[in-house]
Amino acid sequence: MKTLLLFVTLIMFAGYLSAAVGCDLNDPDRDVKKLFPDNTGYKTLYVSIAQKGGTPLLTKIEQRLGDKFQGLYETADVPYTMYQIYKGKELIGYIHGVNQKGKYGGIQVFLALDKDGVIKSFYIQKITSPNAKKFRDAAFGKQFIGLSLKDFYEYNIQKASATPDSKINRIKNPDPKTDDFKVIMRAVKKNLILTDEFLLNNKYLKYMK
């Protein structure tokens, strides 16, 4: 009986670990205030691809991304935590973060967006890398401000490059010796696509190439 209970407990714990791959702000009250200083409140939404459309939706998102989802961070049942930010009764923006697998461990990339889906702030909450400071530097993050999914559709994940006249080319890789930059760029594009799908009613789908 004890052996059976131990086995059931281990199965339940393993299931919890496999599902615990969402991406939440470490301290929502503090972080929302930092990213939206004039906010008066926020709502937290929890969504998943499985909940909103299952395999057909996953396929659609992969097509928009230009790459396949893989690993524990990108299963259809991954819970995405999305924050709607308010000033009084007015919706003024969103915050959303995604997990992305890097060479040295998981990387958590958060974006603060205005209500039209344009990047206001770029924020790496977690990164395990010998040169993590370079990617957490404010100068690196500022390069993303003003960009949207329309711009990131011009970034090809497979080739890790953008079209010649794209605004994406202004983002400079601070550490060409590692793949961290490619991982982060993929995370940003994925983040924007999920936000468009779940919060913006596919406003940017028409720009997909």
The percent of residues above 70 in pLDDT, for the chain, comes to 90
Q: b/e per residue, 138-165, with b = 16+ CB within 10 A?
A: eebeebbeebbbbbbbbbeeeeeebeee
| Number of domains observed in the structure of the chain | 1
Asked if the structure places residue 75 within a domain, the reply is: yes
* Residue 120: closest CA among 83, 175, 153: 83
Kindly report the number of other CB atoms within 10 A of residue 108's CB atom.
Answer: 19
Q: 150-172: per-residue pLDDT in tens?
A: 999 999 999 999 999 999 999 99
Find the mean pLDDT for residues 83-105: 96
Helix, coil or strand: residue 100: strand
Are 180 and 137 within 8 A, CB to CB? Answer: no
Find the mean pLDDT for residues 33-62: 97
* Residue 96: closest CA among 114, 115, 109: 109
Asked if the structure places residue 16 within a domain, the reply is: no
Q: b/e per residue, 76-103, with b = 16+ CB within 10 A?
A: bebbbbbbbbeeeeeebbbbbbbbbbbe
Asked if the structure places residue 148 within a domain, the reply is: yes
Asked if the structure places residue 4 within a domain, the reply is: no
Find the mean pLDDT for residues 179-203: 97
What is the value of pTM for the model shown?
0.90
Please say if the pLDDT value at position 10 is more than 60. no
Asked if the structure places residue 73 within a domain, the reply is: yes
Query: For residue 182, which phi and psi values (nearest 5 degrees)?
Result: -60, -40
Instruction: Label residue 21 by pLDDT band (50, 70, 90).
Output: low
Please say if the pLDDT value at position 16 is more than 70. no
Please say if the pLDDT value at position 174 is more than 70. yes
Asked if the structure places residue 41 within a domain, the reply is: yes
Q: 125-149: per-residue pLDDT in tens?
A: 999 988 899 999 999 999 999 999 9
Please say if the pLDDT value at position 8 is more than 80. no
Lowest mean pLDDT among 52-61, 98-107, 189-198: 98-107
Asked if the structure places residue 189 within a domain, the reply is: yes
Q: Give the structural domain span for 143.
A: 23-207
Distance (Å, whole) CA 114 – CA 134: 26
Instruction: Label residue 1 by pLDDT band (50, 70, 90).
Output: very low
Asked if the structure places residue 198 within a domain, the reply is: yes
